[in-house]
Structures are given as C-alpha cells and as structure tokens.
Amino acid sequence: MCQVATDMKKVLARKHEKFFERHLQLLPSSHQGHDVNRMAIVFYSMVGLSILDVDVPAKYNYHLDWIRKHYIKKTLDDKNSTVISGFVGSLVMDIPHATTVNIANTLFALLSLIMLKDYEYFESILDRESLSRFVSRCQLPTRGSFVSCLDYNTNSASPVDSDDLRFCYIAVAILYICGCRSTEEFDRYIDTRKLIEYIMAQRCCGGAFGAHNEPHAGYTSCALSTLALLSSLAELSDKFREDTITWLLHRQVSCHGCMQLEDDSNTTYDQSDDGGFQGRENKYADTCYAFWCLNSLQLLTKDWKLLCQTERTKNYLLDRTQNTLTGGFSKNDEDDADLYHSCLGNAALALIEGKFNGELCIPQETFDDFCKTCHC
C-alpha cells in the first residue's frame, strides 16, 4: 500500500476510535444510572475499540466498577431458596423483591468484562452456578426457547413474554462463557434437545431461519451461532445447508451480472450498494447485514470468502457506509453514523480479516486470551 493510503487508513482508524470513545463518555456519571441501554452502549463501543487495537483494559478500566455494580444476586422466595444471579441494565432497575436481571444485559456485561480482561472477576466474584441457574429458568419448558427475564410474580419464564432465536442465542452464549462445552455440560442447566428442536422448527422452506417461514439474516446468524456454540451444526442436512448458503449469497447486492440480476425477483436493490448485503428479500442493503450474512456463511462453508467476494463487501463498507468525517458507519449512505452499525461494520471487516469470533461477537484474540487465563 502506498504511503498516502496507509496514512489515510490511520486517520480513519483514529476517527472511528474517537467515535466509540464519545459514546463511552456520552452521559455524565450522575445520569448513568437512568440509562437502561448503557450496558449495550458499553459493549458496542468496546467491541469497536478492541477491533481497532486500542488497549481497552488499560484505557477504559474505569468502567469496571460501573459494570461490576450491575451484578445482582438474589435468593428466590421458593421452597429451595434458590439463588440466581445476573446483570441489570441500570441500577434503577434493581428493585427489592423483584427479579430484574435479564439475559441480554448479562451477556453484554460478561463480554465487556472479557474485553476489559477482568479475569479476577470471573475467577473469584462471578458465581457461574447461580448465573447458569438464572439462564436455566429463562427457558420455556414446553417450547424449548428462551425469554429475556423472569416473571415478577412466579420467578419463572413467562409463557406470554416474547421468545425468539435472539434469546436462545444469548442464553447459550452465556452458558458457553460460563464454561459449558459438551452437551452433557449444557444439559446440566437447560433442555438442550428441546432447544435444538425449537431452532430446527424455525427453518424456512427455501433455506435460512426466521419466524413464520420468513427467512431473515439476523435470525439465521443467531440460529447458526447457537448451533455452533452447542457443537450441533451437524444437525442440519446437506440440502438445508446448501439452500441456506444460496439464500445468503442472494442477499449480496451485485451489479456484476450475478446474484440478483440473474433472477429479477429482487427489484428494490440499489446498484450502487454493490457488495453490501440485505437482511431479507426485497430490502435495501444495510451495513449490519454484512456482518450477519458473513457470519452465517463462515459457519456453513470454509469457501465463504470466495463465494461472496468479500473484497466487494469491503468496498461497500469503506466507500459507501463509512462516515469519513465523523468516524463510524451508518446503516446506508443517507443516515448519520450510529453505534450499532459502527460496531457491526467494523466487525464485518474484522471477520473478513479472520480476526473476529463471530459466534461471540468479540475479537478472536480477546476470547482466546480469556479462555487461556480462565481455563474455560
């Protein structure tokens, strides 16, 4: 690469870094307790900064105390006085006598602690047993799927709460971080067979996963990542794998005479989105689906980089949705950059570089270091 190009790359990396930094410093500390999305903001920012090779543990360790404070242990009012634990998104949500921890904030917090290399916390403070027990209670016994939190009155998963593939993924990712690897280990806390049956029931006729037989790239990535963490991708038939790969490849917008131009069924793509991915049929390309589709493809085939021409995806992200003025990525080339798309835009690029663990959505090196130190 010529010197000018290298310097430009550095300037943009610095702009992205500043973009994520601004989000971490967004709210004055006196207001932080009121922001229920704060744990997600910390997670997305730290993923972005870790990808950019910022020394997150050294630079942002002042967030440790804040995250640790959100870990809540509760003794339930049942005949066994069951102890459960997890994270709340905000301290105003820590209401006495109510179980307010939820699995999404728990996963955001655990992954943020891993990125901060707070290994002491995993070794001596975090109670993996009660945390896994909380996850266990979020499973709906009849459906096998998961909800995000427990019912205030019954302290069990409420059958009226929404349950979908996202929550299944979150539940399994938490157990994986807590050390579960084999089916026997997962079975200690959840009904793994029933969960796999639920995931298989979300398969769509022409490949991919989604609710009510409508394939969706986000749900597909959640389903495949969950199966990968459970070491159960082999449950999928060759035919379904092939159909899913084909469906995913057709989500890539192409003006080079392949993919969507071959079958003219997709009329809403924009040719200048070449290389980007859409989340569903007949939708415009969107930065985040580059990550969801590429993550799905890399779980299904080792030839994914050749099949979908990742160079074109890189060009789409860098030339079309990257904001070269403010740093960050936007959903498309019209909106302002936002934290979610900035995180996933960088994640897609890191995945293409082979440096990202798509199943857990953190840099591979970060997770390897955690596993080595915490022997999980």
Nearest to 189 by CA among 262, 84, 78, 322: 84
Nearest to 22 by CA among 369, 323, 354, 256: 323
Record the tokens describing residue 8, joined without a space: 């430009």
- The yes or no reply on residue 88 touching Zn ion (CB under 5 A) is no
- The yes or no reply on residue 297 touching Zn ion (CB under 5 A) is no
Residues 6+ apart with CB under 8 A from 2: none
To Zn ion, the closest distance from the beta carbon of 109 in angstroms equals: 23
Residue 149 to residue 237: CA distance in whole angstroms: 33
To Zn ion, the closest distance from the beta carbon of 347 in angstroms equals: 12
- The yes or no reply on residue 118 touching Zn ion (CB under 5 A) is no
To Zn ion, the closest distance from the beta carbon of 218 in angstroms equals: 9
- The yes or no reply on residue 274 touching Zn ion (CB under 5 A) is no
Residue identified by tokens 């994640």 is 347
Q: Which is nearer to Zn ion, 133 or 331 (CB)?
A: 331
Q: Which is nearer to Zn ion, 59 or 280 (CB)?
A: 280
- The yes or no reply on residue 286 touching Zn ion (CB under 5 A) is yes
- Do 17 and 60 contact (CB within 8 A), yes or no? no
To Zn ion, the closest distance from the beta carbon of 145 in angstroms equals: 24
Residues 6+ apart with CB under 8 A from 254: 260, 261, 274, 275, 312
Q: Which is nearer to Zn ion, 114 or 288 (CB)?
A: 288
Q: Which is nearer to Zn ion, 196 or 317 (CB)?
A: 317
Residues 6+ apart with CB under 8 A from 48: 16, 19, 20, 339, 342, 343, 346
Stretch that binds Zn ion, among 15-23, 230-238, 285-293, 297-305 (CB under 5 A): 285-293
To Zn ion, the closest distance from the beta carbon of 179 in angstroms equals: 32
Q: Where in 189-228 is the site for Zn ion (CB under 5 A)?
A: none
Q: Which is nearer to Zn ion, 66 or 284 (CB)?
A: 284
Question: Residues 304-343 vs Zn ion: string with x where CB under 5 A?
Answer: ---------------------------x------------
To Zn ion, the closest distance from the beta carbon of 160 in angstroms equals: 28
Record the tokens describing residue 138, joined without a space: 């979020």
Residue 50 to residue 39: CA distance in whole angstroms: 16
Q: Which is nearer to Zn ion, 282 or 373 (CB)?
A: 282
State how far the alpha carbon of 245 is from the alpha carbons of 141, 270, 350, in Å: 32, 22, 21
Residue with the CB atom nearest Zn ion in the bound state: 288
To Zn ion, the closest distance from the beta carbon of 339 in angstroms equals: 12
Nearest to 176 by CA among 288, 168, 116: 168
Q: Which residues lie near Zn ion (CB under 5 A)? A: 286, 288, 331
